[in-house]
């Protein structure tokens, strides 16, 4: 018998998503929370149905219950599920006040001192945690390279991490639709981005100098991710909003453990440090630096 094409097979499958029972929804809530620290509130039920249905169709129209079992048993499928559930919206130079702080205060100070204060001279380490399609780490790369020139011996390393493997693959390509160029200040655009021609018409790519500064790795912020060393700047913006209070507190503790004593932690505008704020000093709203550890003697008074 002649094998039917994928489109023909798809057309026989129901277009309506299969039903999702309360018990199954609870199963998804627990799985996603356990794996990623993301809490799917009941308001997210429609989002789950919408985003997972496509995968159910790809698998021949299986039910939510069957897919849950499959995701529980198979790590690769769990990664796909988390990929589908996460929100990846991002922009270049999102929350511009963060970049202004770097441009006006932090980087000129480092440059004047000839180092970041980490004891590593002109080596700068930055972590973009939850980097999505790369706009955040590449915005950082432009600002840092511009203000800390290679000719003066500044060595910049940007680690860009995300939970989602498919998103990281896109970020690694450093290729975006050309209309994203509007988000980038003109002097950076001209200095660091390339306009696509031929098959890349309508696209924009980060130039080789920028690409050499950014390294990618899958890191789940919800587990003990074993990253090495400390960073001068940690950006973790618009990620913690999806976490509940407990996983947010655990994650912030881990982020702080990867920050140099003089380093800065940047969170998104809707993310507060309620309950864990005692560990940090606020530099400006949503930007924090670790408080020096209080010695045991001082604590006892």
Ligand X SMILES: C[S@@+](CC[C@H](N)C(=O)[O-])C[C@H]1O[C@@H](n2cnc3c(N)ncnc32)[C@H](O)[C@@H]1O
Q: Which is nearer to ligand X, 86 or 193 (CB)?
A: 86
Q: Which is nearer to ligand X, 38 or 68 (CB)?
A: 38
Q: How far apart are the first and last CA of the chain?
A: 85
Residue 90 engages ligand X in binding (rule: CB under 6 A):
yes
Confirm whether 83 is a catalytic residue.
Answer: no
The residue from 45, 51, 123, 254 that is catalytic is 51
Pick left, alpha or beta for residue 130 (phi over 0 → left; psi -120 to 50 → alpha; otherwise beta). left
Question: What are the angstrom distances between the C-alpha of 127 and each of 82, 258, 264?
Answer: 22, 9, 11
Residue 29 engages ligand X in binding (rule: CB under 6 A):
no
The CB-side HSE value for 164 (13 A sphere, CA atoms) comes to 22
Residue 233 engages ligand X in binding (rule: CB under 6 A):
no
Phi then psi dihedrals of residue 13, to 5 deg = -85, 150
The residue among 197, 179, 159 whose CA lies nearest residue 92 is 179
Interface pick for ligand X out of 220, 230, 254, 290 (rule CB under 6 A): 220
Interface pick for ligand X out of 18, 134, 263, 268 (rule CB under 6 A): 268
Interface pick for ligand X out of 20, 38, 206, 259 (rule CB under 6 A): 38
E-strand stretches of the chain: 123-129, 155-162, 175-177, 193-195, 203-206, 214-218, 231-236, 259-267, 280-284, 287-290
Interface pick for ligand X out of 45, 88, 170, 172 (rule CB under 6 A): 88
3-state secondary structure at position 128: strand
Binding mask 107-136 for ligand X (x = CB under 6 A): -----------------------x-x---x
Contact 39, 242 (CB under 8 A): yes
Provide, rounded to whole angstroms, the least separation between the CB of residue 14 and ligand X.
29
Interface pick for ligand X out of 86, 158, 213, 214 (rule CB under 6 A): 86
Interface pick for ligand X out of 159, 163, 206, 252 (rule CB under 6 A): 163
By DSSP bridging, strand 155-162 and strand 259-267 are: unpaired
Distance of alpha carbon 55 from alpha carbon 249, whole angstroms: 32
Q: Which is nearer to ligand X, 53 or 286 (CB)?
A: 286
Binding site for ligand X (CB under 6 A): 36-38, 86-90, 94, 130, 132, 136, 162-164, 167, 219-222, 237-239, 242, 268
């Amino acid at each position: 018998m002649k094998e039917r094409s994928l489109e023909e097979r798809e057309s026989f499958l129901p277009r309506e998503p299969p039903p999702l029972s309360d018990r199954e929804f609870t199963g998804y809530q627990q799985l996603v929370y356990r794996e990623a620290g993301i809490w799917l509130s009941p308001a997210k039920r429609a989002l789950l149905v919408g985003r997972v249905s496509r995968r159910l169709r790809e698998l021949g129209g299986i039910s939510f219950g069957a897919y849950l079992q499959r995701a529980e048993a198979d790590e690769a499928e769990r990664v796909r599920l988390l990929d589908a559930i996460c929100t990846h919206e991002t922009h270049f130079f999102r929350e511009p006040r963060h970049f202004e702080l770097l441009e006006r205060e932090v980087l000129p100070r480092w440059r004047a001192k000839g180092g970041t204060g980490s004891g590593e001279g002109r080596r700068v380490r930055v972590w973009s945690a939850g980097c999505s399609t790369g706009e955040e780490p590449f915005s950082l790369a432009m600002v840092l390279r511009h203000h800390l020139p290679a000719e003066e011996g500044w060595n910049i390393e940007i680690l860009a991490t995300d939970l989602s493997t498919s998103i990281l693959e896109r970020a690694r390509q450093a290729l975006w639709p050309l209309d994203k160029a509007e988000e980038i200040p003109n002097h950076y655009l001209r200095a660091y981005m390339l306009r696509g021609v031929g098959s890349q018409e309508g696209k924009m790519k980060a130039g080789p100098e920028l690409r050499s500064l950014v390294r990618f790795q899958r890191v789940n912020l919800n587990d003990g991710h074993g990253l090495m060393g400390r960073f001068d700047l940690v950006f973790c913006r618009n990620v913690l909003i999806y976490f509940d209070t407990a996983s947010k507190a655990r994650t912030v503790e881990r982020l702080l453990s990867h920050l140099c004593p003089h380093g800065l932690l940047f969170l998104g505008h809707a993310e507060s440090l309620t309950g864990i704020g005692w560990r940090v000093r606020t530099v400006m709203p949503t930007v924090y630096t670790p408080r020096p550890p209080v010695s045991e003697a001082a604590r006892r008074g």
